[in-house]
Amino acid sequence: MINEVYEYQKLVVQNRIVRAATNDYCGEEDGSISAKQIDLYRHLAQSGIGMIITGNFFIAEDGRLDSNQNTIDERFDHDGAKLLCDTVHTYGSKIIFQISHAGRKTKVSELLAKHFDSAQEIRDEEIDTIITGFAEASRRAKESGADGVQIHFGHGYLLSELLTERKDGVEIASKLFKAVREIVDIYPVLVKVNTDIPDYIKKNFYKCCEKYAIWAIELSGSDFIQKTKKEHLYYVKDIQICKDSCNVPVMLTGGLRNKEDIEKALSKGANLVGMSRPFICQPDLLTNLDTEGSRCVSCNRCFHIYKERKQHCAMRSE
Ligand SMILES: Cc1cc2nc3c(=O)[nH]c(=O)nc-3n(C[C@H](O)[C@H](O)[C@H](O)COP(=O)(O)O)c2cc1C
């Protein structure tokens, strides 16, 4: 099952394994793509991952999370992005650009983060600008050769805040999908969303995804950081909830650490499975998946260790 080819809306993926979006803290300060990033993605693609979702690109300066994050606003590094896509494609892997607005999590300034703190106070004109930002970002991704985009509706970022804290949250999502579709037409558009949101929002959102022919819904949550090494398959029960609500393929991410976890997720109905920390720990994990599971201990040091000592994982010295 793991190695079965997956095809949906004409996009063919060589197996069911996805590297979930992972910020690598290696972009250039001006938001362009660094040589180090090209290398990182080359290693991932070489190891046989079916699809790689990039770390989140910010769609506007006020939605920037991190100083070494890549931009997909008007300063987008088109040549770097094209090289990134070509590099991944050389090894038969697919590449999806994740696009985001960090909202209250932005580190641009405390004042700005505070401004986004109340979902109710974000003005309609601002929401329109943000929607245009996502649509334009999707266009840039498509032009650079990416196989699709993933819109980040999870982890407390702006779209997840709007979706869950405003009465018109699903309406905003619908407006955004419409704007994206108008600009990219038929093109794989994925979403990542938290499962720990109220049921009625979740189900309406899933239906909205179906209406706009979303390529896949990635099930996630904000609580993955609190999970212990012993916990696996954090969001597995949501596969069925999603499948019962809409006819959109599902990708499950969070706490998949070995072949058994992956097979279980697929047998429960996931079309694809995502892993993030296991690939930080072992970019070539797939080459020995049959004999051993991931060495990742879910310590979460990968969130800061690169800035401290230019190392990606506490479990490997590089
Ligand atoms: C260092 C690091 C960076 C991450 N960056 C992103 C990101 O850019 N976008 C995103 O949606 N999720 C991001 N995540 C979350 C992962 O995609 C994933 O949802 C989460 O780590 C749970 O999966 P895992 O148990 O396989 O690590 C990041 C996680 C880590 C550890």
pLDDT on residue 317? 65
CATH no. for residue 237? 3.20.20.70
Residue 260 lies inside a defined structural domain of this protein: yes
List, as one string, the DSSP characters of 235-289: TTTHHHHHHHH-S--EEEESS--SHHHHHHHHHTT-SEEEESHHHHH-TTGGGGT
142-172 confidence digits (pLDDT tens):
999 999 999 999 999 999 999 999 999 999 9
pLDDT of 239 > 80? The answer is yes
Instruction: Tell me, yes or no, whether 315 lies in a domain.
Output: no
What is residue 138's predicted lDDT score, i.e. its pLDDT? 98
Mutate to test the pocket of ligand 1, among 98, 220, 276 (most ligand atoms within 8 A of CB): 276
Residues spanned by the domain of 106: 17-309
192 falls within a domain: yes
Q: Is the pLDDT of residue 318 over 70?
A: no
**Count of domains forming the chain:** 1
CA atoms of 40 and 62, how far apart (whole Å): 27
Higher confidence at residue 119 or residue 308?
A: 119
Q: Is residue 3 part of a domain?
A: no
Q: How confident is the model at residue 242 (pLDDT cuts 50, 70, 90)?
A: very high
Q: Which two tokens stand for residue 123?
A: 């003005």
pLDDT, one tens digit per residue, over 36-80 is 999 999 999 999 999 999 999 999 999 999 889 999 999 999 999
More confident residue, 310 or 220: 220
Query: Are 129 and 183 contacting, i.e. CB atoms less than 8 angstroms apart?
Result: no
Is 206 or 309 the better-scoring residue by pLDDT? 206
DSSP annotation of 71? B
**Which of 266, 232, 234 lies closest to 250 in space, CA to CA?**
266
Ligand 1 atom closest to Cα of residue 221: 19
Nearest atom within ligand 1 for CA of residue 300: 31
Mean per-residue pLDDT over the chain, rounded: 96
- The answer on pLDDT for 307 being more than 90 is no
Residue 316: pLDDT band with limits 50, 70, 90: confident
CA 213, 206, 165, 192 torsion-angle sign: negative
**C-alpha count within 13 angstroms, C-beta hemisphere, residue 83:** 13
Cα separation values, 239 from 78, 141, 268, 309, Å: 36, 28, 7, 38
With residue 53 as reference, give the H or E element that holds it: strand 51-53
Dist CA 258 CA 239 (whole Å) = 19
Alpha-carbon distances, residue 57 vs 31, 134, 225 (angstroms): 9, 11, 21
Rounded (5°) CA angle 267-268-271: 75
**Pocket flag, ligand 1, residue 54 (CB < 6 Å):** no
Between vectors from CA 287 to CA 286 and to CA 292, what angle results, nearest 5°? 75
Is 10 inside a domain boundary? Answer: no
Q: At what angle do helices 158-165 and 169-184 cross, to 10 degrees?
A: 130
In 3D, which of 195, 308, 279 has the Cα closest to residue 245? 195
Q: What pLDDT does 52 receive? A: 98
Q: What share of residues in the chain are helix, strand, coil (percent, to 5)?
A: 45, 15, 40
H helices within the chain, ranges in order? Answer: 35-46, 78-90, 110-115, 124-144, 158-165, 169-184, 199-211, 238-245, 259-267, 277-281, 305-309
Q: What are phi and psi of 281, to 5 degrees?
A: -70, -45
State the residue for tokens 């974000």.
Answer: 122
Ligand 1 contact via 106 beta carbon (within 6 Å): no
Q: Which of 22, 41, 151 has most ligand 1 atoms within 8 Å of its beta carbon, as the pocket-test mutant?
A: 22
Identify whether 5 is part of a domain. no
Interval between CA 240 and ligand 1 midpoint (Å) = 22
Nearest-10 crossing angle of helices 35-46, 78-90:
20
Does 55 contact ligand 1 (Cβ within 6 A)?
Answer: yes
Widest distance between CA atoms in the chain? 54
- Judged on CB neighbours under 10 Å (0-12, 13-18, 19+), 102 is buried
Decide if 12 is inside a domain: no
Mean pLDDT of 3-13: 97
The proportion of the chain whose per-residue pLDDT surpasses 70, expressed as a percent, equals 99
176 within domain boundaries = yes
